[in-house]
Amino acid sequence: MKIAVCLSHVPDTTTRIKIGSQSDQIDYTGVQWVINPWDELALTRALELKELPGSGVDEVVVVNVGDSIADPVIRKALAIGADRAVRVNTAPSDSLSVARILAAFFATERFDLILAGLESSDYNGGMTGMLLGGVLGYRTLNGISALNLEAGKLKLSREMDGSRQILVVEPPLVAVVQKGIAIVPRIPSMRGVMQARTKPLQVVDPVKVEAGLTTIGYSYPKPKGACRMVAPGNENELIALLKTEARVL
């Protein structure tokens, strides 16, 4: 069995996001790039599965759509334990385009299980994984909070709003993972970092896709009005404000 983890590279969540002088792009100078947190967890689970005795998982491969800015992040995934990496060489645009580019790659190399994260912490789109499944025509499920292997099939837990199903699914599957899939993300070991230098990072050309969406401008949100302070001991006043001013009580 072969597992692919779709990996997006995102600015560290604590980074300040600066809009460029033309206000039609983000100024990424000095930004610290990291593996999207969900993808880190997906990778962690994929590696845990591979290490189970008799798992039958031959390879865990990370796949990224990105330009060379993503390379250090991809190396980190290799250091964490991925066997190899593929980078489809183009700056990502809207999620349907990224999904199509990924799908074109997955048409050239078959994986039994493709993992994607709930959403990326940059554009918070949360659609790429499902779109990929749609374009590829593989079985596709979101809301996956637990993933196991059972006799060549995938046993997963799917959380919907207020209910949960345990499903047994025949590969190939695209699974969009969320909270619960792994508890703590793995971090690279010294040995892992050394090994990562020689692991294959294959750079492939993208197919041409026509972007349906374009980001034409960025702005900062209006600063929120000042917080109205109530002195401790005056909880009555807070309640009155919530009733008459905010009208939420």
Partner 1 sequence: MSIALYIQGRNRSYTPHQSGWVAFASSFAKSADSRLTLITQGLPPDKAAQLGGFGADEVMVVDGMPPVSDLHNSIEALFPLFKEKGKTFILFGNDTHSKALAALIAARLEFGIVTGVGALPESFSPLVLTRKAFSGKVLTSTLVGKPGVVLVFNAGVGEAVAGISSPVIAELHLNGNSDEGIVVDSEETGDGKQLLTDALRVVSGGRGMKGPENWKPLEELASVLGAALACSRPVSDEGWRSHHEHVGQTGKVIAPELYVACGISGAIQHVAGINGSKVIVAINKDKEAPIFEVADYGIVGDVNTVLPSLIKALKE
Ligand X SMILES: Nc1ncnc2c1ncn2[C@@H]1O[C@H](COP(=O)(O)O)[C@@H](O)[C@H]1O
Which residues are at the interface with ligand FAD (CB under 6 A)? 13, 37
- To the nearest whole angstrom, how small is the minimum distance from the Cβ of residue 28 to ligand X? 14
Query: Scanning residues 136 to 195, which ones bind partner 1 (CB under 8 A)?
Result: 137, 139-143, 155, 158-170, 179-180
Q: How far apart (Å, rounded) are the C-alpha atoms in residues 142 and 124?
A: 15
Query: From ligand FAD, partner 1, ligand X, none, which one binds at residue 165 (CB under 5 to 8 Å depending on kind)?
Result: partner 1
Rounded Cα–Cα distance for residues 175 and 180 (Å): 14
Binding string, residues 80-119; x marks residues near ligand X by CB under 6 A: ------------x--x--x-----------------xx-x
23: tokens are 């206000």
C-beta nearest to ligand X: residue: 117
Consecutive H or E run containing 84? strand 84-89
Identify the CA nearest to 129 among candidates 23, 13, 20, 38.
38
Concatenating the DSSP letter of every residue in 147-211 gives EEEETTEEEEEEEETTEEEEEEEPSSEEEEE-TTS-SS-----HHHHHHHTTS-EEEEPPPP---
Q: Does 11 bind partner 1 (CB under 8 A)?
A: yes
Minimum CB–partner distance for residue 5 and ligand FAD (Å) = 17
* 65 lines the binding site for ligand X (CB under 6 A): yes
Name the segment binding ligand X (CB under 6 A); options: 44-52, 62-70, 159-167, 230-238: 62-70
Residue 142's binding partner out of ligand FAD, partner 1, ligand X, none, with CB under 5 to 8 Å set by partner kind = partner 1
Residue 7 near which of ligand FAD, ligand X, partner 1, none (CB within 5-8 Å, type-dependent): ligand X
* Size of the residue set binding ligand X (CB under 6 A): 23
| Using rule CB under 6 A, residue 140 touches ligand X | no
Question: What letter does residue 76 receive in the DSSP assignment?
Answer: H
Q: Are 35 and 7 in contact (CB under 8 A)?
A: yes
List, in order, residues 6 or more apart from 27 with CB less than 8 Å away.
18, 19, 20, 21
Kindly list the residues in this chain that would bind ligand X in the complex (CB under 6 A): 6-8, 36, 38-39, 63-66, 92, 95, 98, 116-117, 119-120, 123, 125-129
